[in-house]
Amino acid sequence: MSLRGILRGFGLKVGKTTRRLFDRRVRELIDGRPTLTVIAEALLAARAVLAHELAGLETRVRGLARTDARTRLLMSTPGVGVIVALTFVSAIDNPGRFKSSRAVGAHFGLTPKKYQSGETDVSGRISKIGDGSVRTALYEAANIILTRPVKGSTLKRWALAVAKRAGQRKAKVALARKLAVVLHRMLADGTAFAAEAAKHPPLGMAA
């Protein structure tokens, strides 16, 4: 984005491109412009180093996920990938420390704040207490389930029904909360994702 901004200042637009073709497009634009070439080549070199390091980091993270039975278990859930699974497992640690799966959503700040006084009983926005990285990971997983093709997902159908009633944003939060419940139950029971169980959770793990 820094490189795009610099080029835009000279009236040069990179436009739509791919990660692989980005360098070529930039070099086409700076051809014959010595000063811009020096700047752009330095930024392209830095970008290449970052891409290389990121690829190495991704390889290590995927390796960690493959060697951990708990993360492999969670990744049987639609929309849950390496980062979400590792983040959730590391935060939960021992699933037995939660009295019920229902409590996990509140632990990570995914339940609405309540204001009660006399006859007043108002539900506000989510509390956002607890580990923010877990909350973010679950929300991203919910976003993927809702916005991308997910084959045969009962979770998606449930969230779409919520979205019709309350809107996309609230549906994503509700789905993130349900995912917290479902993923905890999977860790506690040592069982892979079961679509029907996620659709109709027993009372002890209701979202």
Tokens of 159: 């969230």
Residues 23 and 79 in one domain: no
Query: What does the DSSP 8-state code read for residue 201?
Result: -
Cα–Cα distance for residue pair 143/139, rounded to 1 Å: 6
- For the entire predicted model, the pTM comes to 0.70
What is residue 117's predicted lDDT score, i.e. its pLDDT?
Answer: 44
Residues 44 and 73 in one domain: no
How many independent structural domains does the chain possess? 2
Residues 147 and 81 in one domain: yes
Residues 176 and 80 in one domain: yes
C-alpha radius of gyration, the chain, whole number: 22
Residues 29 and 47 in one domain: yes
What is residue 201's predicted lDDT score, i.e. its pLDDT?
Answer: 52
Residues 179 and 197 in one domain: yes
**Residues spanned by the domain of 36:** 2-65
Cα–Cα distance for residue pair 132/119, rounded to 1 Å: 33
Cα–Cα distance for residue pair 98/85, rounded to 1 Å: 18
Alpha-carbon distances of 126 from 107, 108, 119, 133, 184, rounded to whole Å: 11, 10, 22, 15, 20
Residue 110's CB is within 10 A of a number of other CB atoms, namely 28
Residues 146 and 44 in one domain: no
Residues 105 and 60 in one domain: no
Residues 39 and 73 in one domain: no
What is residue 180's predicted lDDT score, i.e. its pLDDT?
Answer: 93
| pLDDT of the chain, 207 residues: tens digit per residue | 899 999 999 999 999 999 889 999 999 999 999 999 999 999 999 999 999 999 998 898 888 888 899 999 999 998 899 999 999 999 998 999 998 898 898 888 888 765 444 443 334 567 787 778 999 999 999 999 998 887 657 888 899 999 999 899 989 999 999 999 999 999 999 988 876 555 555 434 333
